Structure 1
């Protein structure tokens, strides 16, 4: 769990887009061609589509000449003139949004056809292009020879995308499923950005908070007592992380007192949650980051999250510092970005080592306490509690990909 665990860096200027692929019919073509594409240029031009994207004025004039997309309306001077109707405005606006608003680094989501899942990619080129060559999906025929699927993608207005993982539709929260069930081809999902990132990363941060999610995998009725205990454990994450940072004593048995104090005092720096208990379901947590060095806080909070949800034990934490090893929390794709500068730490950080040792000590206390072992481990078993495990390598390994912090180990010089 801890080896090479990733914390994604969430930037404010990164948008999330859902691109409809004809009910998933062309999702495989998107992945095969490394693109997203829309049909709206074909709607504006019945034939003879140009080799370059026309200006907005030219597109509008083209749509006005088509009775399907325009109609005569009275002007204020009493004369009639042709105006775009609702369909015409939709075609024009979808072309403009696709061409102008989807940018390098934006997260792209599209629905697959057969498995009813969703694919995730990163836009790798802001400038749209027109390509008249159809995209075909390569297959291996029954006799072992290479070939192509019958269907082809002929939409000519395209943008380049690096495609990564796919997940089942059942993993999507209800709000995201609803947002992707409309009719628009290009839909902005920024209002659901955090929940989208929860689908592919167990941890991510915007520099002000750490976001952590638990997946409730049980297919049975959810145990209300187990849910209550889970919330109680999660409420302790901030307190435990502060104890790890300060290397001080932390009595996990003071659970109720700490929770009541936080509620009564109306603290603003407490852990908050959202949840969907649908069996399976999800719980999403937000832990505020204030005070200490950002990288140290993130490391301590991650260990606290995993400890209090039963995802790691003392042995796993001890492995971070075994054989003179020192934990590291490093930016995968280093850059001069001001946002990323806040996460930079020395190659070998003794503070991270002391945090890991403190976490190992707390883990031993939990494991040696019958009541806490039952509270944490049994809650995990009852709810079949897991964290997101998705292979996101392809979303990260290029210039405009998602940047991540990775937990690893370095060996100290003798």
Structure 2
């Protein structure tokens, strides 16, 4: 039997990483093409080929990946860096961005210009240093202010209740809902809450039947600004014969106390409120006030829009709706670009490990060659995790909150140093 004459078509691998990349080949090989219009990115991706070639020993042993793989990994490394930086910035600014304008994003994570608010047009929000407006704290304070009666973001209305002699109980929910449907109250007045109640529950804030005339009773006919009577008893009129000059704050404190006294002591009516049923004590008679009034708000869902003004319901509500796009390549400094090079190298090592893992061993005449695919995969995974951890830990130390703590510590340290410096005594 004759020995076969083996004549391979090629004595080298069909796929070998070249020693250099080509700028003109980069754009067409990118999976997403997010940075294909950046000449700086194209140059960086092409130069990465030489870096990978040298680091993985391409001048000693063939590297079985293409330059295209390096270009794709370089794009992934930039996107990974952008993701980590944007996540870090979200921690810094989310509480101030809540309720502000957001937008729609395409599959690449870029804002859609066709649906973009004018306030976001032409901006890269992740690169901005925003004003601190405590949006979350303000929204919480507005909600608390509603129940505390000191403002808030819920409109409060007033409604009149016509009393009926001998009737002690009044269904406020039905009375106000009916007025909201017809648009007029029991007195025939147009109501501002027309069409706003329906079957929504109303929240009663206050029940009253007249306004105390504290200004007249306290200050007297001539007003008496910055002065007050000689602190004698106040009845229908203040003592206008003797005045004492006092601080303005005392005028204010006394008038508030006087008004509260009238409101509490002079009214001989009281009430109970249960499930929006009003029970008046004592039972109204023909000589009772013809109308009582209530202040109320209409219960709404937290996500309902304010019809009068945009209050941010459709704005940013968490990290997902922050108007953060991928960071432009030109805005990544030398620190970021070196991290990208290292991460891309690790991704290339992972790609090479995947290729070599397809065949753990290759038979050769008289022996076999064992490939290091598994080792490359293990090294790549560890390196990628270490690089992510390194960057995240660095950024965690540079949050706005941490920097304020550092500044405070620096000021304290300087003060301690100054305390140790002896003061010179000037001798004239």
Q: TM-score, normalised by structure 1?
A: 0.22
- Between structure 1 and structure 2, the one with the greater Rg is 2
Q: TM-score, normalised by structure 2?
A: 0.22
